[in-house]
Amino acid sequence: MTELAFHFGAPDKLAYACRLVRKAVGSGARVVVVADEDAIAQLDVDLWGVSATDFVPHCASSAPPFVQGRSPVLLTSNADQAAAPFGVLVNLADTVPPGFDRFQRLIEVVSTDAADRDLARGRWRYYTEQGHTIQRHDLSLKRAD
């Protein structure tokens, strides 16, 4: 069964996702990031400049399968478009990503925006109704340290 985690309270959802993806790739994971087209376009730019000295290699789902097979990160609006096997799915979208259960791990990133939190509550309900146990990561507690 897919391991699920909600990281909630992100003041900047895309910046947090970039750091999360960087950390996952640094540990050897292959990651699919699901988001809307505007967020994908911004992530494509942001991942090239995560810090002054490095970037996170990535590609879009429109890349040929051989490129996807070599890239540690795939940016897409639909997780089912991943041609190669990936272990981690990061969801920045408003809905449950179809095919999430074929990943070892799903991470939902939730901002401080009220509408985003409400949509996340619906996804949380769906996952628990499907029998998943969810790990909670309150990012506001980490900022207080």
- CATH number of the domain at 79, please: 3.40.50.10110
Range of the domain at 18: 3-144
Question: How many domains does the structure of the chain reveal?
Answer: 1
List the beta bridge partners of residue 110.
Answer: 8
pTM: 0.93
Residue among 132, 107, 129 at smallest CA distance from 24: 107
Specify the pLDDT at position 51. Answer: 72
Contact 79, 100 (CB under 8 A): yes
Residue among 105, 56, 63 at smallest CA distance from 82: 63
The model's pLDDT over 61-87, given as tens digits with 9 standing for 90+, comes to 999 989 988 999 999 999 887 767 889
